[in-house]
Structure 1
Amino acid sequence: MHTDVDRCVRAVRSRDPRFDGWFFTAVRTTRIYCRPSCPAVPPKDRNMSFYPSAAAAQQAGYRACKRCRPDASPGSPRWNERADLVARAMRLIADGTVDREGVPGLAARLGYSTRQIERRLRAELGAGPLALARAQRAQTARILIEAGELPMADVAFAAGFASVRAFNETVREVFGLAPTELRIRAANGRPPATPGTLALRLPFRTPFRPGNLFGHLAATAVPGVEEWRDGAYHRTLRLSHGHGTVSLTPRPGHIDCRLSLTDQRDLAEAISRCRRLLDLDADPEAVDAQLRTDPHLAPLVQRGPGRRVPRTVDAGEFALRAVLGQQVSTAAARTLAARLAAAHGTPVDGPGGLTRLFPTAGALAALDPGGLAMPAARRRTFLRLAEALASGELDLGAGCDWARARAVLDGLPGIGPWTAGIIAMRALGDPDAFIPTDLGVRRAAARAGLPATPGALTRHAAAWRPWRAYAVQYLWAADDHPAARMPTEPSPHRS
């Protein structure tokens, strides 16, 4: 979009927040870059340049605006909507892969040469993987500086910098302030947090309808691993360097996020996973505009615009839980998952009822089949899926190839269209995943005057592409079910 100068200028002149994260505005006279919705007086047209990423603006010598904080914009929706190389690379960079494994590690995960990845990212984003990771590192450092009390040397290494000197230079260059100055400026407006907890805000594009997101997460919460308590969703996180817990509370204009981590190096990864869980980088205007063109869906969209797709913080965990939920009620699936977590999950000392990390695929693959209280066919499917995940045969990670993952899933015994579709929707994050065989979808479709048979509904839904996963959310939300609305009570299944 940054190449459409007239459209970018109009977005800046109208301070349109829908375009935050899509592109960045650089002001030649001040050498500052902003988000399109910056509240400052817009510069003259001839003084504006537009960049596709914060990293590209930084490489061109611009520093972040202190007023609109463009580094804290919602992420571009492109990286969660697309399945090509650039989108896969951006999801991995957001997950911290370059900081942990370097550009060669990123290339190895994607199956391309470092030269190819560098060329493709520069062509689309104006910056290579190192510059993109550096921009994210600077934002991670800013969060640690402003939201916590870590000594600056610890902040530097936790954010992924190789030295304190590089940390100081990058923070000054990107934000125009020294790290200590950033902390002093933030101290007065900092939200209260308990010791050892980072308090931050996760932005999103409006409209935002949180009911089906948090309703679904609360209704399916596995005791010990996750819970709904005090108006917030809480859960444990298994991360690259350790583990953590998070609480997520919907607020006007943002999600209140409280993170407790055993290793601060996992901050960027934890934030990325929480954003993915709540689908916070979506573009609801584009989704809803497309779905409103169907007269059958339009009333559902109008009733509650801005619905997101509830996703996951751990794709492998979700896939295994999807198999546990085959042909049983939500309560029964939750009970099975809770028993596995209690028996084989890693114990953690978390707040409230958080006591376990969900077991790894490797631990579950090694279980004695006789100890799994489920029908023999589903037991075989569960263990085969765990084995495929543990061995790497099935990759559901942030940078995986969606088409290949679907092909592997389709080849596993006992993984039918519904299971593959729900994994694609929530674990892979495919915005066009569709589950026409789902009973709730078919029931809501019939009430809305849509075809109710899977084949006819699939043909009709071709007009909803590439947003069929969002259409499913609107259909599910039409049913008066607790999972479709905001929870009001603590999880009834708390351990």
Structure 2
Amino acid sequence: MHTDAERCLRAVQSKDARFDGWFYTAVLTTGIYCRPSCPVVAPKPQNMVFHPSAAACQQAGFRACKRCRPDTTPGSPEWNHRADVVARAMRLIADGTVDRDGVPGLAARLGYSTRQIERQLLTELGAGPLALARAQRAQTARLLIETTELPMAEIAFAAGFASVRTFNDTVREVYALTPTDLRTSTTPKRPPSGTPGTLALRLPFRAPLNPDNLFGHLAATAVPGVEEWRAGAYRRTLRLPYGHGITSLTPHPGHIACRLTLTDLRDLPVAISRCRRMLDLDADPAAIDDQLRTDPLLAPLIDKAPGRRVPRTADEAEFAVRAVLGQQVSTAAARTHAARLVQAHGERVDDPEGGLTHLFPSTTALASVDPESLAMPATRRRTLTTLIAHLASGAVSLGVDSDWQETRTRLLSLPGFGPWTADVIAMRALGDPDAFLPTDLGIRRAARDLGLPSTPAALTARAASWRPWRAYAVQYLWATDNHPINFLPT
């Protein structure tokens, strides 16, 4: 979008927050960059240039605005509804791949050469993978500086910097303040964390956001020991690259309150990225709802409760296992099956604030499970053990870098995998915004009641006009049912 100067200019002049994260405004006369909705008086048009990323602004020598804090905007929705290599690269960078494995590791995950990845990112985003990862490190550093009392040296390494000197230089360059000055300037705003070792922060999103089905789904399907709804918050354990963590997520009108307890602070950016992805916070609800509203039979559902998100997952392999456990059984039965696996094979964790007891078992741990110990029909047992074997061996890879269509094809080749299971994994684990469930009983019932075609083939044909947002149409159709997944728990 940043190449459409006229459209960008209109967004800046109207201070339209819907475009925050889509592009950034760099001001030539001040040397700073802002989000489109920055509250200061808009600069003269001839003094503005537009960039596709915060990293591109920083690379061009601009500093982040202290008023609108453009580095804290929601991420661009482009990276979550596209399946091309640039979008997959951006999801991997957000998940910390460059910090852990370098640019060669990023390229290897994507199946391209380092030069190809650098060229494609530079062309579309105005910055290469190192610059994009550096911008993320700067944002993580700022968050730790403002929300903790940690010594600066610990913050530097937790944020992924190789040295304290690099940390100091980057913070000064990006924010025009030293780390100490940055902390001093924000001390009164620092929220209390409550528990030692816990970080409290706010996760922004583009309005509107309807929390009902989002948190209702996560709470209604929560696996005991791994997830819970407590005191108005969805809480769950997280398996992370350097350790584990516990997140607590509470919906508020303008943000999601997030509390993170981590065994290793180097996992902070990954934990934040996974929480955002799980709640689909980088979606563009205005664009999605506008497209779906063109169908006159869907329009009343959207007008009644706009801004529905797709409830996703913090762990793709975990969700795939749970999807198989939930085949042809009730939500309660699926939770029971999953809880048994957790108690028998999950790693124990300590949760001083609630009732979380385990991490969901890794695929390596599940690969050693005796099939005869699984209390389920033989055919579903075979489906589950085959899936686990393929996940453990890497024959099926589920991650933020997955090619949606290729992964769906591989899942459908496994015994016991039909379109419903493959598509629900594509929708909630892989993040495909166009995944559709025309065979789902709840979808067919909702379609019939609304006057839409109720047979899978006819409904799929009608849903062509909903593309590429059919996964969101699923949420609106599901919400017509009086099921716990559609209501914010009390």
What aligned pairs does 1:78-89 form with structure 2 within 5 A after superposition? 78-89=78-89
1:63 maps to 63
For 1:267, the equivalent position in structure 2 comes to 268
Give the Cα–Cα distance (whole angstroms) in 1 for the partners of residues 275 and 336 of structure 2: 24
How many aligned residue pairs are there?
A: 488
Give yes or no for the alignment of 1:301 onto 2:310.
no
Shift of 1:362: 1.3
State the AA in 1 paired with 2:262. L
**Contact 1:323–1:419 (CA under 8 A) maintained in structure 2:** yes
For the residue of structure 2 that corresponds to 1:198, the secondary structure is: strand
By how many angstroms is 1:149 displaced?
1.6
Aligned to 2:344: 343
Listed one character per residue, the Cα deviations across residues 453-478 of structure 1 (whole Å, up to 9, x for unaligned) are 11110110011000000000000111
SS state at 2:90 partner: helix
CA shift for structure 1 position 322: 0.3
What is residue 371 of structure 2 aligned with on the other side?
A: 369
Letter of the 1:468 partner, please give it: R
In structure 2, the partner of 1:105 is: 105
Equivalent runs, 1:99-178 vs 2, <5 Å: 99-178=99-178
Q: How does 1:59-458 map to 2 (within 5 A)?
A: 59-194=59-194, 195-350=196-351, 351-458=353-460
Q: Report SS of the residue matched to 1:249.
A: strand
Kindly state the Cα deviation for residue 148 of structure 1 after the two structures are TM-superposed. 1.3
- What secondary structure does 1:393 align onto? coil
Deviation of 1:311 (Å) = 0.2
Cα contact 1:365–1:384 (8 A) shared by 2: no
Q: Tell me by how many angstroms 1:482 deviates.
A: 1.5
Q: Deviation per CA, 1:215-273: give whole Å up to 9, x if none.
A: 00010000100000000000000000000000000011110000000000001100000
Aligned partner of residue 311 in structure 2, secondary structure: coil
Deviation for aligned residue 1:438? 0.5
Work out whether residues 204 and 254 of structure 1, in 8 Å CA contact, stay in contact via their aligned partners in 2: yes
The amino acid that maps onto 1:151 is: P
**C-alpha distance in 2 between matches for 1:481 and 1:336:** 20
Q: Deviations over 1:25-61 (max 9, x none)?
A: 0000000000000001110110000000000000000
Q: Name the structure 2 match of 1:5.
A: 5
The amino acid that maps onto 1:51 is: H
SS at match of 1:300: helix
Kept in 2: contact 1:324–1:382 (CA 8 A)? yes
* Residue type of the alignment partner of 1:43: P
Helix, strand or coil for the counterpart of 1:346?
Answer: coil
AA paired with 2:106? L
CA deviation profile, 1:174-212 (whole Å, cap 9, x unmatched) = 011111111122221122212211101000001110100
Amino acid at match of 1:303: K
Q: Residue 37 of structure 2 corresponds to which residue in structure 1? A: 37
Q: Secondary structure at 1:356's aligned position in 2?
A: coil
Q: Deviations over 1:163-183 (max 9, x none)?
A: 000000000100111111111
CA–CA distance in 1 between the matches of 2:210 and 2:128? 35
Aligned counterparts of 1:185 and 1:379: Cα–Cα separation in 2: 58
Match of 1:49 in 2: 49
C-alpha contact 1:137 1:159 (8 A) present in aligned 2:
yes
Q: What residue is the counterpart of 1:492 in the other structure?
A: none
Three-state SS of the structure 2 residue aligned to 1:287 is helix
Q: Quick one: distance in 2 between partners of 1:294 and 1:358?
A: 40
The separation in 2 between residues aligned to 1:458 and 1:403, in whole angstroms, is 17
Following superposition, the deviation at residue 90 of structure 1 comes to 0.2
CA deviation string 1:364-393 (max 9, x = no partner): 121111100010000011011111111111
Aligned partner letter, 1:484: N
1:142-163 residue CA offsets vs partner (Å, 9 max, x unmatched): 1111111211000000101000
Question: Does residue 25 of structure 1 match 2:25?
Answer: yes
CA contact (8 A) 1:434 1:469 kept: yes
Give the whole-Å Cα distance in 1 for the aligned partners of 2:484 and 2:180: 47
- Matched AA of 1:202: L
Please tell me the residue identity of whatever aligns with 1:166: T
| Deviating more after overlay: 395-404 vs 135-144 | 395-404
CA distance in 2, matches of 1:302, 1:480: 19
Per-residue Cα deviation, 1:441-463 (whole angstroms, up to 9, x for no partner): 11111111101111110110011
- Structure 1 counterpart of 2:477, from 466, 472, 475: 475
Normalised by the length of structure 1, the TM-score is: 0.98
Counterpart of 1:364, as a letter, is L
4+ residue stretches of structure 1 with deviation over 4 A?
none
Is the 1:325–1:332 contact (alpha carbons within 8 Å) kept by the matching residues of 2? yes
Q: Could you tell me which amino acid in structure 2 is paired with residue 417 of structure 1?
A: P
Question: C-alpha separation between the residues in 2 aligned to 1:373 and 1:47?
Answer: 67
Cα distance in structure 2, aligned partners of 1:438 and 1:208: 25
Deviation track 1:110-155 (CA, whole Å, cap 9, x = no partner) reads 0000000000000000000000000001001111111112110000
For residues 401 and 145 of structure 1, the distance between their equivalents in structure 2, rounded to whole angstroms, comes to: 37
Q: Which moved more, 1:399-408 or 1:346-355?
A: 399-408
CA deviation after TM superposition for structure 1 residue 70, in Å:
0.3
What is residue 493 of structure 1 aligned with on the other side?
none
CA contact (8 A) 1:157 1:265 kept: yes
Corresponding residue SS for 1:188: helix
Q: Quote the RMSD (CA, aligned, Å).
A: 0.6
Paired amino acid for 2:186:
A
TM normalised by structure 2 equals 0.99
